[in-house]
Homo-oligomer: A and B are copies of this chain.
Amino acid sequence: MPNPTAAILVIGDEILSGRTREANAYHLAGELSRVGIDLREIRVVPDDHAVIVDALNALRVAHAHVFTSGGIGPTHDDITADAVAAAFGVGIDVRDDARELIEKALAARGVTATADQLRMARIPDGATLIVNGVSGAPGFSIGNVHVMAGVPSIFVAMLAIVLPKLEAGTPRLSREVRFEVGEGRIATPLRRLAEEMPQLTVGSYPFRDGDVRGTNIVVRGTDPALLDEAVARLEELRASVG
């Protein structure tokens, strides 16, 4: 059975303007590989209600799981929760359990929640909260969409809560063989390997290391024995071109 697929929708003008280097998709990619969910798309969009709604609706029908990152804070540019409610066609309002989490976290710092902070307790109808130890403000899951913070430490904490609950697949394993020759020298045998072992993906990544032009070959799949066989063939190839 093929693995379930996933996408991440990153929401934030700060990524598209070049101010901030996106970090959460890379973390998600590694974690999903580990549990056997295939990440098939990363999409970054601006803080624009209509664009977020359209992207969410495209991704949630195409994939088993959709993760979002960003836009769930207390300020005017945090519009993700409302866009998710609109995408699902459900209402959204401040929810008591979410408000209590936020008030409790602020009280621990000796602060009373402002009306703006309570905006973070606005949760679409029918969602389940993602309660985490780093941020008082929760994320939430609705249908197959998991809405998480953009701040990397909070994204990591929320993903650790959500991931064990998801339908997973067979973990993808990967092995890498380093060649100290350029891609062009080994392209033909690599194509043959990819054709003869269709259960694996064979990726070819050129690198430059000082004066050395080399190529890292990455084989990925779910069957350790097949990966061993591919690595043995690659090592044989390496001996023949070395």
Contact = CB atoms under 8 A, between A and B. Distances in A.
Contacts of A119: 187
Interface stretch (A27-35, A93-101, A224-232): A27-35
Interface stretch (A16-24, A83-91, A122-130): A16-24
Contact of A44 (B20, B42, B74): B42
Interface string A175-216: 000000001110110110011000001111110100000000
Nearest to A76: B191
Given A21-B26, A22-B25, A47-B201, 4 more contacts: A15-B29, A76-B194, A113-B184, A153-B208
Contacts of A73: 183, 204, 206
Interface in A68-125: 73-78, 106, 111, 113-117, 119
Nearest to A21: B26
A45 interface: yes
A192 to B, nearest CB: 9
Interface residues of A, number: 66
A49 interface: no
Do most interface residues of chain A lie in helix, strand or loop, or is the interface mixed? Answer: mixed
Contact of A218 (B15, B19, B190, B201): B19
A146 interface: no
Most chain B CB atoms below 10 A, which of A32, A75, A203, A205: A75
Nearest to A17: B33
Contacts of A113: 184
Contacts of A151: 206
Contacts of A14: 203, 205, 218
Contacts of A238: none
B45 A30 contact: no
Given A174-B17, A218-B14, A76 B29 contact: no
A39 interface: yes
A43 interface: yes
A46 interface: yes
A47 B77 CA distance: 34
A204 B42 contact: no
